[in-house]
Structures are given as C-alpha cells and as structure tokens.
Amino acid sequence: MDLKIIKTKMPKELPDDSTLGFGQMFTDHMFNMDYSPDKGWYDARIEPYAPIMMDPSTMVLHYGQTIFEGLKAYRTSDEKIQLFRPERNMARLNRSAGFVCIPEIDEAFVLHALKKLVAVDKEWVPRAPETSLYIRPAIVAMDHYLGVRPSHTYRLFIMLSPVGAYFSEGFNPVSIWVSDEHVRTVRGGLGEAKTAANYAASLYAAQVARKAGYTQVLWLDGIEQRHIEEVGTMNIMFVINGGLVTPPLGGSILAGITRDSILTLAREWNIPAAERPITIDELMAAHEDGSLQEIFGAGTAAVVSPVSHLAWKDKVLTIGDGRVGPMAQRFYKAITDIQYGRADDPFGWIVPVEEV
Ligand SMILES: *Cc1c(COP(=O)(O)O)cnc(C)c1O
C-alpha cells in the first residue's frame, strides 16, 4: 500500500523538555487510514495533526467499538530514535481487534507507517532524562448508525505526544487499594483486549480509591473476588521469597509487553519467575510471615511502579520498608537502559526509526 506524506505548513513551537506532563500536547502530524468492506484498509496518509470530524451518530461515540495501543519512541545519547518491541503492539492491536469485531490490519505496514510518522516528527522526541515520545495508535468504528452491530467502516489513526519522566523526582512508590466491590472485567469479557470498555469500567473504583487517599486500584477477579489480576491499568508483580510471581494470562488480564520483558529478564538472571494464580489471602499470609518483599506494577508508561502500601478491608500493609525494592529498581534500570540505548540489546527488542 502507498503511504502519502503531506507536511504541515504551520509547525507548532516545540515544548520545553523539562516541563512535559503526560498526554497533553500533540505533535505536528498524525497518521490516518480508513476501512470499508469493499476497499479494505485504504488511503494511508501522514498529514497535519487535525480534529476528526464525526457525525453525532458515529457508532464509536455510542457503543465504544474501539481499540488502542500505547508505546514510546526514545532518543539515545547519540541522537538515534528507537522503539521498544513495537511488533508486539501491532500484534496485540490485531488480537484486540478480534474481541470487538474490528477488521485486522497489516501489522508490517502499520509499523512501517508508524516509523515514518515518528521520523517526520522526530524533533518532537524529547531529550531530557527519562522523557520520551508516547505513540497512541487507535481504531474507531465510523458508521453513522444507531443500531447495535459491528460497524462496516473504520478509521485507524496514530497520534504522538511528548511525555515527561513518569517519576520526575526519582521513584515515587504508590499506595493501592483492593476493591472487593467493583470489578474491571471477567473471564470471557474484554479484559484481554486494549479497549475503551475496560477503562470506562475502571473509572468509578479509581475515584473511590483516590478519595480514600490511594493512587491505584488492585483488581481482584470478577467471579470469586479472590484472585489478584491487575493494578490500575498495569500488570502486577510480587516478590515472594526472592522469586517473582505474577498472575497468569487467563482471559481477563491484558498481556503486557512490560510484563513479558520483566519475565524474560528474570529468567535470564536466574530469578525464579512464576506465572500462577495468587489470591489476596495468600498475599496477606505472605505479608504476615515476612516472605512478601516487594509489589510493583508493570506497564509502558512507568515501566515499573513500586507499591509502598496496600489497603484491604480494615488492614493497611506496608510493603517491605515502604521504599523502592531492589528488584523493582533492577528491572527498571535494565529495561530503560535498553530503551535509551545505554545498554546492549541481547533480546533484539530495539527497532530503530530511520530518517525520512
Ligand atoms: C496497556 C495495559 C497494560 C500494560 O501493557 P504494556 O504493554 O506493558 O504497556 C496492562 N494492563 C492493562 C489493562 C493495559 O491496558
């Protein structure tokens, strides 16, 4: 497929790298591509960043038939721009598509377009320590229709946003709140898909947690409310007796790429790493007998997000000594060193963005 590139005549002013937040600012260009049943995916184009005009009846606005991805471009000290395991994001976009009846994309082509887009806006990849360019691909249902059925037409777009360091003053451990009243998803639902519904389902509990003074919700399974699943919108990892434990991908957990990278590193470092069910009762017992050493979230935005406190019913546990644990620190350093080109890439995770 052809990829048209139309450059803006009115480039915006680049932001100050030291004041970047998350997802508030967007670059000069975006990628757009449309789908219709007779043409398939067509009209792939990089063009000036602009609003998407939508009729009020556009299906995505009503029934949430949409999926997305999140990844980053990193600038190395020698001014190269690189991506981290982006083929995984493309594969996951297609997996998510299947759950909500969205037609598949050509993964290699969309990755090619994504690289071109980043290359066109490469000046927007920030330079300050631990900053990056966040990349958001999404697909939305575009039919004008209020009936409930899968849309026939779709728009795929990719937007870019320069983002600041997640922990601007060094690691800042978070406190989490176990919800045994709300559920995010259930087996057989959409938990394995990166789709809007799961985020909509998480908002209310997150607000309850925040009002109680906690940063994130620890989600238990939707059926028995016993098995630990995820934390906020991250996968969760425990260090118990020196080994890593994370819940298995049993149908209601998103297959995180950071999760997979951490498991890969753990195996490389001969750290026992188990993907197995873990209940809230087991966690309480492990805290009680002193074998629970660390808890941290894993996801692209933060890489690793250490947990200092966990609240469940009337108990508030302090995890370890309430500071960042050595395991969280080690995974964070190893992964970010590869992402920013400060270390070798023994697993072939890095994909360079070439000049246009
Ligand atoms: C995106 C996401 C993650 C993390 O996945 P990464 O590929 O590591 O960024 C975890 N859980 C949920 C629910 C997510 O949407």
Q: What is the pLDDT of residues 225-246, one digit of tens each?
A: 999 999 999 999 999 999 999 9
What pLDDT does 171 receive?
A: 78
Rounded CA-CA distance 348/324 in Å is 28
Q: Does residue 250 have a pLDDT over 90?
A: no
Rounded CA-CA distance 108/72 in Å is 17
Gap from CA of 346 to ligand 1 centroid (Å): 23
Tokens representing 236? Answer: 């969760």
| C-alpha count within 13 angstroms, C-beta hemisphere, residue 33 | 26
Encode burial over 326-337: b for 16+ CB neighbours within 10 A, e otherwise: ebbbbbbebbbe
What pLDDT does 168 receive?
A: 64
User: How far apart, in Å, are the Cα atoms of 352 and each of 73, 75, 112, 311?
Assistant: 9, 10, 11, 42
pLDDT band at 343 (very low <50, low <70, confident <90, very high): very high
Question: DSSP letters along 257-298, please?
Answer: HHHHHHHHHHHHTT--EEE---BHHHHHHHHHTT-EEEEEEE
Among residues 154, 157, 140, 124, which one has the least CA distance to residue 45?
Answer: 157
Second CATH level (architecture) for the domain 174-339:
Alpha-Beta Barrel (3.20)
pLDDT digits (tens, 9 = 90+) for 291-336: 999 999 999 999 999 999 999 999 999 999 999 999 999 999 999 9
Rounded CA-CA distance 339/46 in Å is 25
Among residues 173, 252, 176, which one has the least CA distance to residue 209?
Answer: 176
Closest residue by CA, ligand 1 atom 5 = 256
CB 31 within 8 A of CB 23: no
Bridge partners (DSSP) listed for residue 175: 309
Indicate whether residue 143 lines ligand 1 (CB < 6 A): no
SS3 239: strand
pLDDT band at 120 (very low <50, low <70, confident <90, very high): very high
Q: Does residue 354 have a pLDDT over 90?
A: no
Q: Give the number of residues written for the chain.
A: 356
Ligand 1 atom closest to 301 (CA): 9
Gap from CA of 69 to ligand 1 centroid (Å): 9
Query: What is the number of H-type helices and E-type strands within the chain?
Result: 7, 18
Ligand 1 atom closest to 71 (CA): 9
Second CATH level (architecture) for the domain 3-164:
2-Layer Sandwich (3.30)
Q: Which amino acid is at 201?
A: A
Gap from CA of 66 to ligand 1 centroid (Å): 16
Beta-carbon contacts of 270 under 8 Å, excluding residues fewer than 6 positions away, are none
83, 84, 90, 233, best to mutate for ligand 1 pocket (most atoms within 8 Å of CB): 233
User: How far apart, in Å, are the Cα atoms of 349 and each of 88, 150, 265, 271, 353?
Assistant: 10, 35, 12, 20, 13
pLDDT band at 265 (very low <50, low <70, confident <90, very high): very high
What pLDDT does 169 receive?
A: 63
Q: Structural domain boundaries of the chain?
A: 3-164, 174-339
Tokens representing 262? Answer: 């951490």
